Structure 1
């Protein structure tokens, strides 16, 4: 159960309503009118709450759970204890997320402009905006309808923010266009100069003007203290539905496709392109001008340079296909053991 000091909960909902909202099918014998008051974890759930199960290895936790209902896959439906209602869905986690959104919806902000906000007279504000204390809205900036700007955020000159976007506290936006329904968590910095210099042997490096923008597409979410540099010539582009974790660095002229996932402490160097539905796990490093295809998975702490084909899984430093990496790892392990055995044998002689 969420702490209601911090979250507003809707409901209760009937099982019939939750099935409709999530696209799940109510199992035979489950009461469609049964009321559910909240979502919960398997080990803490109450009889009026709903949980989900996505892995068979958690069957014991489900068997001992006091939850009144569970969302699970058709292949796991037989694991539910007697008396527990079942909602059947091929992707239980997705269905559970939709149910959780019903209980904890993201409501439109209550319209308000703080007296201490600084708003340039040339800025355009949509209907129903909320601007918190200390926020700065620069000249010719455009905020869409129901945009929420957090405390001490800075929306720079001519920046555009689309409808229903949420700009967290201390966010800095310049030279960028932000799409609709975008969420920027605290401390995000978008549109600052990319790292571009003409090096010199005398140490007097010459700065290259960064004249592009950052384009953040619709339905993107960007985690706290992530930075995205604007393009040098041309734009840095974050594709629609991409989800970026905290503490990520994205260099100038990077372009990501649809629905990418980029987790904490990833660094992507300039002019890299990433295809659709690609996942980069924690602390992955990507060298400049790399080309990563669609449907790719790069496992944690890998170092990527060059071309990664569609649908592949890469790991290691330098990153190679997972099968190749594991084969090499087994070889090195086997050889090191041989060397250890040979050393012991020679010492005994």
Structure 2
């Protein structure tokens, strides 16, 4: 009898949920009754600010956009993966469904790859990373923000009417793309007031020790301290990560994301305690049991966007994360 019970349990295991299993919801799938916006591109872009690099970008234009008034904006890093119709993010499907339902306003999407050190963007990269990704995404300075805001957005804005209201402009990404998104909002909250952070690399990837007369370059693990010791920015941010995320020489991703949450919440509490005027961080989170994967974030993306535009409460943290 014991053997039979053991065999029955083993037979059921393939259907049991495994850590990191987060299927997409209907909000991320294409539906015949929902009008599909058009995805323009890829276009190539050579930056003056990030000289010597080339990148690709795509523009998502919802069918509801008619140019009669400025549209909201969503910028997503690693655009080649964000727009992958078979990937875990499928951002354009989510925008189709949520705009159609009225859950978020009419929103244009800008999906941007990292730069590559070449004259033309390589055709054989597929979903892979261009070779200038870490230098752009894991840096704490404002170089990438200036490239995006001062060069790329005017280019898109020449074709489409974009809102100037930072409360209607979101920026997001996964992994190093997430810390990149936060860095843009950190330096330029006047341009982006909403942040989507999935499995964010708030770790020491960008750190470089001082050497040969060159100063030390900080990494993303500095952010919790910066948040605690800097004036509060008017930023609304959704943090997502999993308890099985990376743990390596750069840091522990899950702990780093928890440090980010703690710092943001402490900054608010400290400001309240001391009666400080000004904004407060609007922050929520969802911890799961996934690894360094876009799966959990992709499954939550519709709820993230609804929460960022405040049409729904934040998703509850996954109890499986412990």
Tell me, yes or no, whether TM beats 0.5. Answer: no
Larger relative contact order (C-alpha < 8 A, sep ≥ 6)? 2
The bucket for the TM-score relative to the shorter chain is: under 0.3
Structure with bigger gyration radius: 1
More strand by share: 1
TM-score norm. by structure 1 comes to 0.21
